[in-house]
Amino acid sequence: MVTIRLHNTLTRRKEVFEPLDPMNVRMYVCGPTVYDRAHLGNGRPVVVFDTLFRLLRHVYGPDHVTYARNFTDVDDKINAEAQRRKAAGAPGTLEDLIRERTEETIAWYHQDMDALGALRPTFEPRATDYIGAMQAMISDLIASGHAYAAEGHVLFRVRSYAGYGRLSGRSVDDMIAGARVEVAPFKEDPMDFVLWKPSDEGLPGWDSPWGRGRPGWHIECSAMSYELFGPAFDIHGGGIDLQFPHHENEIAQSCCAHPSAGFAKVWMHNEMLQVEGKKMSKSLGNFFTVRDLLDQGHPGEVIRFVYLGTHYSKPMDWTAEKAAQAKATLTKWREITAAAGQGAPSDAVIAALADDLNTAGAIAELHALAAAGDAGTLKASAALLGLLEDGMGGWLDTGVDLAPLAARLADLREAAKATKDFAAVDALKSALIAAGVEVRMSKDDVELRPGPDFDAAKLEPLR
Ligand SMILES: [Zn+2]
């Protein structure tokens, strides 16, 4: 059995991973709030924890690993978007518009994360399907003195849980000193956080012992992980931005609701992402969704490779140069492995991944296998990182062949300028469009790119 070591945020140490039950290894990762396209930073934990999921499946067997990632489909941003649409005259009730927005966003999320080669988790629970479980947990917390109802709200009594702050290494008093939030009058203590809040007429709400309302965000993950995994499980993951307060609050809720269970054993956090050395922001004009990059012609496999080139615990920088290098490397590796037979993954690649998911080290080992021409081992090893998989290489059949056709189209146009007969230019252009090629002709340039309906076979007669 391979020994996996993982850095545990809770203990601040790299530890040997020992599952509670090797026949049922359980991992929960906080998923997206579904009101908009996933940006490049949102894609990072998806690829990081997908790679861990693949490693766990390899070591414990695919039937012995369960992975849950939630959809937060009740949220003020979703409500605001639905209200905006309603104000703009969209048909349907507010509930219809909320459902429309969340369904649409979940479909986008699946398309974009599939394009990154991420396996679908075993469970993708939606918060709105677990409102009853959240209410049950909130009632338990009130009964045990860890929460209290006030003015239609229910709040978690932070001072009632001595372990609060352990994950993020902060003391409650430091947190209060650092907090600049306005304190609601119904709070006993400024640190207390919302488990339930009231909904007025214009907002989605559920009946509850505390009046019509909706859950706070943190209770969702505590309730859903309990329903799917029970009170204790192996790994809880997410971005470092969720460590405080979201994960700290999840621990407080779950450990007070199920005091002897222990909740998640290992906590893992991925670092944030930058673009060309700068924080990604709309105001800097360097804000990209995963879909933007796919539409710009970066294949999902290339984006995935760039993510995995940096260890998950380090900030990662997306650069055009890295994307170009990744594309060149994957092109070469796909040529080497095109006719590869069935191989087994290399021990060195497995050892790198088992060492706290050292993906950069694993990629270095893949380079060594490519240099040695060991195609079968390269392909099988790359699959552990979700690379060189059969369904992911479609991008390779395209860009390479289009350059000669672009040159020919440019030549025909040059010739037509003299003769004033553009028939040949139009014929070639129409044939390219019929093959699903996007044709862009500017004054001195011709650019051809495979579009979504690209069909390489239809180009054969043009060669
Ligand atoms: Zn969560």
Give the pLDDT confidence score for residue 251 in this predicted structure. Answer: 98
Please list all protein residues whose beta carbon sits less than 5 angstroms from ligand 1, which is an ion: 30, 221
Q: With cut-offs at 50, 70 and 90, classify the pLDDT of residue 29.
A: very high
- In order of 254, 282, 304, 318, the CA distances from 113 in angstroms are 29, 22, 10, 17
Mean pLDDT of all residues in 263-286: 94
**Closest to 101 in 3D by CA, of 75, 122, 129:** 75
Q: Is the pLDDT of residue 113 over 90?
A: yes
386 sits in the region (left: phi over 0; alpha: psi -120 to 50; else beta) called: left
Beta bridge partners, 206, equal 213
Report the pLDDT value the prediction gives residue 181, as an integer from 0 to 100: 63
Average pLDDT, the chain: 93
Tell me what pLDDT residue 389 has: 92
Strand order in the sheet with 263-270: 65-69, 25-29, 232-239, 263-270
Residue ranges for the binding site for Zn(2+)?
30, 221, 246, 250
> Looking at residue 279, what is its pLDDT?
92
Q: Which of 12-16, 276-280, 425-429 has the highest mean pLDDT?
A: 12-16
DSSP annotation of 166 reads: T
Asked if the model's pLDDT at residue 455 lies above 80, the reply is no
Q: Which domains does the chain have, with CATH numbers?
A: 5-270 (3.40.50.620), 274-395 (no CATH), 398-462 (no CATH)
Q: At residue 373, does pLDDT exceed 60?
A: yes
Mean pLDDT is lowest, of 201-210, 361-370, 443-452, for: 443-452
pLDDT value of position 397: 62
The predicted pLDDT at position 454 comes to 77
Which residues lie below 8 Å from residue 96, measured CB to CB, with a gap of 6+? none
Distance between CA 390 and CA 388 in Å, rounded? 6
Lowest-confidence pick of 51-55, 235-239, 358-362, 442-446: 442-446
Compute the distance from residue 168 Cα to the ligand 1 centre, in Å: 15
In this predicted structure, what is the pLDDT of residue 398? Answer: 56
Q: What is the DSSP string of 28-51?
A: EE---BTTS--BHHHHHHHHHHHH
- Tell me how far the alpha carbon of residue 31 lies from the centroid of ligand 1, in angstroms: 7
Residues 212, 216, 217, 218, CA torsion sign: negative
Weakest mean pLDDT among 116-130, 273-287, 446-460: 446-460
Q: Where are the beta strands (DSSP E) in 70-108?
A: none
Distance (angstroms) between ligand 1 centre and the Cα of 250 equals 7
Q: 307 C-alpha to center of ligand 1: Å? A: 22
Exposed (0-12), middle (13-18) or buried (19+): which is 171, by Cβ within 10 Å? exposed
Phi, psi dihedral angles at 197 (to 5 degrees): -135, 150
Model confidence, pTM: 0.86
